[in-house]
Homo-oligomer: A and B are copies of this chain.
Amino acid sequence: MRLTKNELKYIQSLRLKKVRQTERKFLLEGWRAIGEALNTPAGIELVVVQSRYIDDPDYRRFIREFEARKVDLREGSEQELAKIAETVHSQGIVAVVRQRQWTLDAILKKRPSLLVALDTVSDPGNVGTVLRSADWFGVDGVLLGKGCVELHNEKVVRSTVGSLFRIPVAEGIDLSAVMGRLRREGFRCIGTAAEATDRVADIDRASRTVLVFGSEAHGLGQELRSEMDQLVKIPRYGRAESLNVGVAAGIVLAFLRSDSST
């Protein structure tokens, strides 16, 4: 079926954050990303495919899978795809996907043992990279504090490389306020701080842990820092002033998972 003008307009409107938030939908680009989303509980509502791929044998298995899953499929021109896609890498396919909303309660009901929390991390690439690392290291859920970039921002979605669909994420969390509750539920709250005396290799391993990372510019806020059970640092051997927050989170997760220092 051809894409209608109204559908095109609606899809274009999802490039705006406020529309994504009221509609609770977002856009996903690229064959691989959309193929991965098909195998998750993500609700794909509509897929627009550039005409020349519809009958291309290389893409037939995707088209068949969309049909099998009863995903609405629309045919669009190259120009229409260009209007919808954010990147030049859309590869001729864009999907409208329903946002999955997680609350902290819903995440806690799954009895998580390892959580990651981000405080005011505003760079979309960094948030996406942390989600991808969290997925690699088997984190059970991620809490995005107030001041973090919107989870369904196109750059966040792209840099998660599919992990967005595998990890429960709760947004807009007042992190200082929830740390007390997490502690009562048996979590040990661990933060990173340049002036910590414990090193990342000395990290406490507990049956339930929440790792908290602050913004690159300001680190953990004072209030949130006072809620931590342990502060650890990544020792510095050179002259850079700080590490990228995505890199720092990956390092802390790798040490937490390593048994070399137990």
Contact = CB atoms under 8 A, between A and B. Distances in A.
Nearest to A258: B201
Given A250-B250, A250-B251, A243 B201 contact: no
Nearest to A114: B237
Q: What copy number does this chain have within its complex?
A: 2
Contacts of A125: 125
B247 A135 contact: no
A87 interface: no
Interface stretch (A46-54, A95-103, A159-167, A184-192): A159-167
B133 A243 contact: yes
A1 interface: no
A142 to B, nearest CB: 12
Interface residues of A, number: 42
A181 interface: no
A209 interface: no
A247 B234 CA distance: 14
Contact of A260 (B159, B247, B261): B261
9 contacts: A132-B244, A132-B247, A135-B239, A136-B236, A161-B241, A162-B241, A201-B258, A251-B251, A251-B254
Interface of A: 125, 129, 132-139, 159, 161-163, 166, 199-201, 234-244, 246-251, 254-255, 257-261
